[in-house]
Each structure stands twice: as C-alpha cells, then as structure tokens.
C-alpha cells in the first residue's frame, strides 16, 4: 500500500506527520487491549500457560511501542485520536472474543492484525525515509516486531482456526477502517 505524495501547501508535512503519529498511537493502544482481552480469558486457564506467556510477551512489545508513541505525541504536540476510548473497548472485545473461540482464533487475530500493521508501517517507513529518517528507522524496528508476532501466530496454527478466511478478512477490514478513522479524528 503506497501512500500518495504529500499534500501541497504550508504545514502539509506537519499535518501528515500528525496523522501518522496519531494513527500509530491508536494502533498500539488497540493492540495492547487486544492482548489484554485475550489474556483476561486465557491468562489463568489451566493448560494455557504457553499461550498466556506468548500473549504477555507480545503485549509487552505493544506496550513499549505505545509508550514511545505517547512520548512522540507529547514531543510533537499532536493530540491522540478522539476514538481512543472506543479503540480500547473494541480491542479488548476483539481479544476476549477471539480467546473465547479458542487458541487458533487468538492466533488468527494476531496474524490478521499484524499483516495489516506490517503493511501500514512499511508504507510509513517509505514515506518518512527522507524527511524523518530517525522516525522511519524506529518504525521499521516496530514493523519487524509486529511481523515477528505474525510469524509466531502462523507457526501456532492461525490459518487452522475455524472459519479462518472470514475471521481474518473481518479483522483486516476492521483494522484498515480504524486506521483511516484514526488518522483524521
């Protein structure tokens, strides 16, 4: 997914950077809450220690990304998305819902979300590589961690989840919609 060139006019670059930071903060916020929802269901379940540990580790990565975006928003004077309360709730509900469907659905959720986020970060890295090279490098590192999450999910059987094609498609559409909304609001 290639981003169109920057809009012309004074302040266009700053406005676009604000969109990038806002949407990335929103995405990491949603991811933290997805993992929290999944851990709320699976975290203490007998025999689920392995997946609970995986979820806790991945949530830790997302929490670190979120903290960095919170710092960047403050440093750059960018407000978070107005949708933050909804994304917290939606993320937790998606996490808990997929956990209730079983471990394969949890991994399908991770695979679907991280596929979209990997593409999203890749486009941002390309867009920012010249005018914000340090930020682009940081986003590239975040993308690599997100793609590692996706690979773990695939190895753990994400694509074996019941109704995987439908589940993954719905989650991907939801992620892409949340991205567009969060950039603007």
The C-alpha angle 4, 149, 168, rounded to 5 degrees, equals 70
Q: What residues contact residue 56 under an 8 Å CB cut-off, 6+ apart?
A: 35, 39, 43
Q: Which of 117, 127, 126 is nearest to 12 (CA)?
A: 127
Phi and psi angles of residue 18, each rounded to the nearest 5 degrees, phi first: -60, -40
Distances (CA, A) of 69 to 9, 59, 62, 143: 26, 15, 11, 14
Can you say whether residue 161 is alpha, beta or left, with left for phi > 0 and alpha for psi between -120 and 50 degrees? beta
More confident residue, 2 or 153: 153
Express each pLDDT in 93-109 by its tens digit: 999 999 999 999 999 99
State residue 74's pLDDT score.
95
Sequence-ordered alpha helix ranges (H) in the chain: 12-42, 49-76, 84-101, 103-128, 133-155, 164-184
3-state secondary structure of 118: helix
What's the half-sphere exposure (Cβ side, CA atoms, 13 Å) at 151? 6
Query: Is residue 169 pLDDT above 90, yes or no?
Result: yes
């Amino acid at each position: 997914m290639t981003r169109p060139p920057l809009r012309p006019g004074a302040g266009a670059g700053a406005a676009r950077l604000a969109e990038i930071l806002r949407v990335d903060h929103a995405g990491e916020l949603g991811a933290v809450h997805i993992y929290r929802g999944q851990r709320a269901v699976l975290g203490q379940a007998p025999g689920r220690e392995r997946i609970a540990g995986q979820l806790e580790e991945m949530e830790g990565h997302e929490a670190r990304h979120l903290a960095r975006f919170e710092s960047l928003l403050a440093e750059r004077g960018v407000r978070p998305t107005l949708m933050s309360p909804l994304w917290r709730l939606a993320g937790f509900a998606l996490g808990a819902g997929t956990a209730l469907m079983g471990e394969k659905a949890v991994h399908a959720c991770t695979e679907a979300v991280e596929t979209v986020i990997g593409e999203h970060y890749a486009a941002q890295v390309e867009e920012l590589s010249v005018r914000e090279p340090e930020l682009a490098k940081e986003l590239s590192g975040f993308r690599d961690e997100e793609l590692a999450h996706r690979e773990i999910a695939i190895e753990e059987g994400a694509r074996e989840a019941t109704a995987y094609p439908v589940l993954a498609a719905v989650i991907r559409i939801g992620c892409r919609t949340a991205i567009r909304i969060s950039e603007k609001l």
